[in-house]
């Protein structure tokens, strides 16, 4: 559906997108994830023919970006970070205006507008000025203009930016509903949004792709995926010394003092090694008491931090 190969874009001496390659499959919701300034918006603007790359190749539905720009624009719906809305127009008039720009036949335009109103949940605001709507409803109007010409591909750049928690949930559910019938690229730096909406993610940092896969795959690859918290009653220095002898232990941190007189240790094992039982046996063999032994799995936030800052997960 979408194939990007060795894509590069420079602005003067700044390399915004640096030789990236990725694919998006038909019917997939792909999360394009990265910190602010990573190159997300630049990539989205290239894919929507907003401006050309300096080098590389992009094919969208077997159409070359350079040779078939106008045809690609017909097949793509784009919601930029700041929705291009006319604040003094009523919702119904704006959708009619966008439909005419998209050259939807007049005998089909009313049905298209009605469909957008229903799909995007705009029934209660049809005759209100856009400028008087909440941010959540303005985003719904933005999605309606993105969808009105029935594109096969949707490219959404930070679609929940600035929304309150309830509005974020509403827009997420709407995107998932739309994604059942469309191919979607969702660009964001908000991790819960991506993990709740997307089946696969690509992480970009400083213009380069640093990771890709399903959220589960990304988490499973995270180094030091498990952190163990052990609460032990015993002589702190001796407990720590004995725990350090466990094979496969990477790092140990004493989190003390604890109000109940115990010692709480944060323990990181080497990648893909489970030392929970070893900790239990060391405590038991030395006659100490173990009142807590819990394990924390890595999250997408840990993976993101690891790939975009060079920091290891959970530190």
| More confident position, 85 or 179 | 85
Model confidence at 311, in pLDDT bands (50, 70, 90)? very low
Given 220, 245, 270, the domain boundary residue is 220
Is it the case that residue 189 has pLDDT exceeding 90? no
Say whether both 24 and 146 belong to one domain.
Answer: yes
Say whether both 86 and 193 belong to one domain.
Answer: yes
Q: What is the pLDDT of residue 225?
A: 55
Say whether both 258 and 286 belong to one domain.
Answer: yes
Given 187, 220, 253, the domain boundary residue is 220
Model confidence at 315, in pLDDT bands (50, 70, 90)? very low
| More confident position, 296 or 233 | 233
Is it the case that residue 34 has pLDDT exceeding 50? yes
Q: Which domain holds residue 39?
A: 2-220
Say whether both 244 and 164 belong to one domain.
Answer: no
Say whether both 159 and 193 belong to one domain.
Answer: yes
Residue 298 and residue 301: Cα distance in Å, rounded? 8
Say whether both 81 and 177 belong to one domain.
Answer: yes
131-166 as b/e: b if 16+ CB within 10 A: eebeebbbbbbbbbbbbbbebbbbbbbbbbbebeee
Q: What is the pLDDT of residue 193?
A: 78
Whether residue 311 is contained in a domain is answered as no
Say whether both 235 and 198 belong to one domain.
Answer: no
CB 56 within 8 A of CB 8: yes
Directed axis angle between helix 135-147 and helix 106-119, to 10°?
Answer: 140
- pLDDT tens digits along 239-295: 999 999 999 998 999 986 677 789 999 998 887 788 999 999 999 999 999 999 998
Is it the case that residue 312 has pLDDT exceeding 50? no
- pLDDT tens digits along 114-124: 999 998 889 99
How many other C-beta atoms can be found within 10 angstroms of the C-beta atom of residue 108? 10
Whether residue 302 is contained in a domain is answered as no
Say whether both 138 and 283 belong to one domain.
Answer: no
> What is the tally of structural domains in the chain?
2
User: Of all residues in the chain, what percent carry a pLDDT higher than 90?
Assistant: 65
Q: What is the pLDDT of residue 222?
A: 63
Say whether both 167 and 55 belong to one domain.
Answer: yes
Please tell me whether residue 230 adopts helix, strand or coil conformation.
strand
Q: What is the pLDDT of residue 33?
A: 92
User: Once rounded to an integer, what is the mean pLDDT over residues 30-50?
Assistant: 93
Say whether both 8 and 149 belong to one domain.
Answer: yes
Whether residue 106 is contained in a domain is answered as yes
User: What's the whole-number average pLDDT of the chain?
Assistant: 89
- 157-161, 172-176, 223-227, 305-309: lowest mean pLDDT where? 223-227
Q: What is the pLDDT of residue 191?
A: 81
- pLDDT tens digits along 98-151: 999 999 999 999 999 999 999 888 999 999 999 999 988 998 999 999 999 999
Say whether both 266 and 136 belong to one domain.
Answer: no
Say whether both 157 and 240 belong to one domain.
Answer: no
- The candidate with the shortest Cα–Cα distance to 239, out of 257, 270, 264, is 264
């Amino acid at each position: 559906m979408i194939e990007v190969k060795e894509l590069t874009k420079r602005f003067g001496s700044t390399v915004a997108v640096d030789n990236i390659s990725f694919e998006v499959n038909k019917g997939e919701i792909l999360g394009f994830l990265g910190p602010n300034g990573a190159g997300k918006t630049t990539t989205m603007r290239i894919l929507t023919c907003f401006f050309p790359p300096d080098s590389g190749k992009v094919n969208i539905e077997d159409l070359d970006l350079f040779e078939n720009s106008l045809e690609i624009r017909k097949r793509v719906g784009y919601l930029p970070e700041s929705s291009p809305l006319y604040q003094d127009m009523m919702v119904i008039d704006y959708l009619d205006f966008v439909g005419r720009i998209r050259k939807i036949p007049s005998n089909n335009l009313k049905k298209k507008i009605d469909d957008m109103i229903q799909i995007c949940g705009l029934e209660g605001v049809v005759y209100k000025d856009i400028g008087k709507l909440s941010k959540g409803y303005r985003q719904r109007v933005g999605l309606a203009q993105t969808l009105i010409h029935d594109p096969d591909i949707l490219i959404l750049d930070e679609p929940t930016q600035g929304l309150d928690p309830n509005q974020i949930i509403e827009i997420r559910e709407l995107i998932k509903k739309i994604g059942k019938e469309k191919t979607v690229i969702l660009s964001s730096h908000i991790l819960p949004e991506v993990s709740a909406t997307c089946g696969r993610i690509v992480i970009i940092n400083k213009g380069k792709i640093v990771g890709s896969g399903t959220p589960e795959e990304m988490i499973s690859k995270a180094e030091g995926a498990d952190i163990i918290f052990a609460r032990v009653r015993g002589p702190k220095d001796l407990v720590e010394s004995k725990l350090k002898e466990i094979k496969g232990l990477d790092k140990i941190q004493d989190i003390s003092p604890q109000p109940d007189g115990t010692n709480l240790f944060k323990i990181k094992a080497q990648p893909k090694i489970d030392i929970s039982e070893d900790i239990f046996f060391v405590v038991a063999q030395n006659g100490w008491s173990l009142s807590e032994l819990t394990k924390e799995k890595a999250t997408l936030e840990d993976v993101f931090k690891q790939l975009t800052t060079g920091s290891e997960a959970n530190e």
